[in-house]
Amino acid sequence: MGKITLDGMEFFAYHGCFKEEQLIGTKFIVDLNVETDTSRAEQSDHLHDTVNYSGLYHAVKAEMEQKSYLLEHVARRIINSVCEQFPSVTKIHIIISKLNPPVGGKMKQVSYTTEWNKT
């Protein structure tokens, strides 16, 4: 088993429960960690024998571009997309952080973290 990690992917998106968040948008940071069997790629040195991290990035990007009210919903869509596009993935860990959330005070970010395991 191997882990492929994409740290600090930055997106400007329109997720949030407040009307202003849906109109103005803000910056989000996504960290994605997937586990998959990398033994073939370790021997072959061929991209098609592993999970292409560029493909993972584009899966996350596509879901970040769709408005949602909740980070939980965005995370589930990302997990579903990754599982559909990369069936060899056995585990996913994702953190989605919203920078400067509208909470009535100064705060760097709020984050949602979840995991998925293939059963």
Residues acting as catalytic residues: 98
Nearest to 26 by CA among 96, 119, 90: 96
% of residues, the chain, pLDDT over 90: 88
- Please give the domain boundaries of the chain with CATH numbers for all domains: 2-117 (3.30.1130.10)
- CA 37 to CA 89: how far, in whole Å? 8
Residue 119 — pLDDT band, cuts 50, 70, 90? Answer: confident
Each residue of 21-51: pLDDT tens digit? 899 999 999 999 999 999 999 999 999 999 9
List of residues 6+ apart from 52 with CB closer than 8 A? none
Residue labelled with tokens 């989000």: 28
pLDDT at position 45 is 96
pLDDT at position 102 is 83
SS3 content of the chain, % helix, strand, coil (to 5): 35, 35, 30
Output the CA–CA distances (angstroms, integers) from residue 57 to 8, 31, 35, 100, 105, in the order listed: 11, 10, 15, 23, 32
pLDDT at position 88 is 96
